[in-house]
Chains A and B, each alone.
Chain A
Amino acid sequence: MNRDIPTIPPSSGAEDPAVLGALASLPREQASPGFTAAVLERSRTAEKPAAELGWSRTTTLLAASLVLVTVVTAGMLERAHQKKELRGRVDALRSEHEMLEHELAELKRASAEEPAVVYLGGDENVDVVLTFDPKAVPATSSGAVAPVAASGNHGI
């Protein structure tokens, strides 16, 4: 036994003698003849570990943390950029919608207040106009305006 490993006292209390006997019956394995040569060969071909290259564990951890923070930050920035872009598009659609609504309301109001009238022609006595006003009444006397109902027969 090596001097830096204390050997066990005859009885240590926790062990089962039968199990201990079974364990002690196991044969001692020995390294194969080429073992040392193989280790030396591997030590020549093995890459130098990070510690030898000046990379301490702390440095490695810091580098890993930095990469992680960079990735997370980039992800957050990308997400924020996408949100901003989407918000801009939604705003544009909303303003366009408001504008259309406004235009529609304008048109409705205009059509309600002042029915459209188209002057078709006429002479000194009669003016022929096309009106969309359902309340328009055809003229019967000379010099009057003769409206033409948009939905009915056109006549003087």
Chain B
Amino acid sequence: MTIPPTTRPPSELEEPPEVPTDVQLMARMQSGDRAALGGLVDRHKDRLVNYLTRITGQRDRGEELAQEAFLRLFQTAAKYREQGRLLPFLYRIATNLVRTEERRERRYRLFSITHPHGPSGETHTHAAGPARLLQQEAQREVQRALAELPLRFRAPVVLHGVEGWTYQAIATLLGCREGTVKSRIHRGHQRLRSRLQGYWKGEGQ
């Protein structure tokens, strides 16, 4: 069974099918409906993959963690209490997965987040001219700088600067005060600026 996506081409809107809301899909999933999971995945996969790619600095890892987050959502659906906050709930699962994984990595010293596995998958690889290559290089540099931030700064910086969340929404997700979120974003930006300053200056010369 396929759940229609939220947006469809105009040609398909002649007989608008009833698009289930997140609340309805969650309710169905809570009763074990796997197709409802498919619907939620289809609806939110891109933004979650994007968020996790920016957080981890690696495209493949971001996608793998996004899958894991949806799986956890399915497994913990019974515990979910509807308050119109499905997406924060999903993002919290995803952020906790990253936190757990980074702790494990730190413990076993397998590899460091300051040395992500290179730019593979980080950017789209279109055949491009020098301007495009420069842009890709700049994006890689930003991504590298982002990956060097501690998660407590990285998560709010990405949620705010990439995903466009408000301080209040981030505070709810991270379970801290709005002032803390502001402070972390401010300090995160300071670190990013100090890290990128040299590159920006070099680029301008």
Instruction: From known contacts A5-B169, A35-B45, infer whether A26 and B139 are also in contact, taking CB-CB under 8 Å.
Output: yes
Complex CA distance for A19 and B47, rounded to whole angstroms: 21
Instruction: From known contacts A8-B166, A19-B189, infer whether A36 and B42 are also in contact, taking CB-CB under 8 Å.
Output: yes
In the complex, the number of residue pairs spanning A and B with C-beta atoms less than 8 Å apart equals 142
B153 to chain A, nearest CB (A): 12
Pick from B84, B135, B193: contact of A25, CB below 8 A. Answer: B135
Complex CA distance for A129 and B19, rounded to whole angstroms: 128
B164 and A31 form a contact (CB under 8 A): no
Q: List which A18-36 residues lie within 8 A (CB) of chain B.
A: 18-20, 22-32, 35-36
User: In the complex, which residue of chain A has the Cβ closest to the Cβ of B188?
Assistant: A19
Chain B residues whose C-beta falls within 8 Å of the C-beta of A40 in the assembled complex: 34, 37-38, 41
Which B residues are closer than 8 A to A by beta carbons?
Answer: 22, 34, 37-38, 41-42, 44-50, 53-54, 59, 62-63, 66-67, 70-71, 74-76, 78-79, 84-88, 123-124, 135, 138-139, 142-143, 146, 157-158, 160-169, 182-183, 185-186, 189-190, 192-193, 196, 200
Main secondary structure of the interface of A (DSSP, over half): loop
Chain B residues whose C-beta falls within 8 Å of the C-beta of A23 in the assembled complex: 142, 146, 157-158, 161-162
Pick from B59, B66, B142: contact of A22, CB below 8 A. Answer: B142
Instruction: From known contacts A29-B53, A51-B78, infer whether A19 and B193 are also in contact, taking CB-CB under 8 Å.
Output: yes
Q: Is A141 an interface residue (CB 8 A)?
A: no
A14 and B185 form a contact (CB under 8 A): yes
B192 and A19 form a contact (CB under 8 A): yes
Complex CA distance for A15 and B70, rounded to whole angstroms: 31
Pick from B63, B87, B163: contact of A31, CB below 8 A. Answer: B63
B192 and A22 form a contact (CB under 8 A): yes
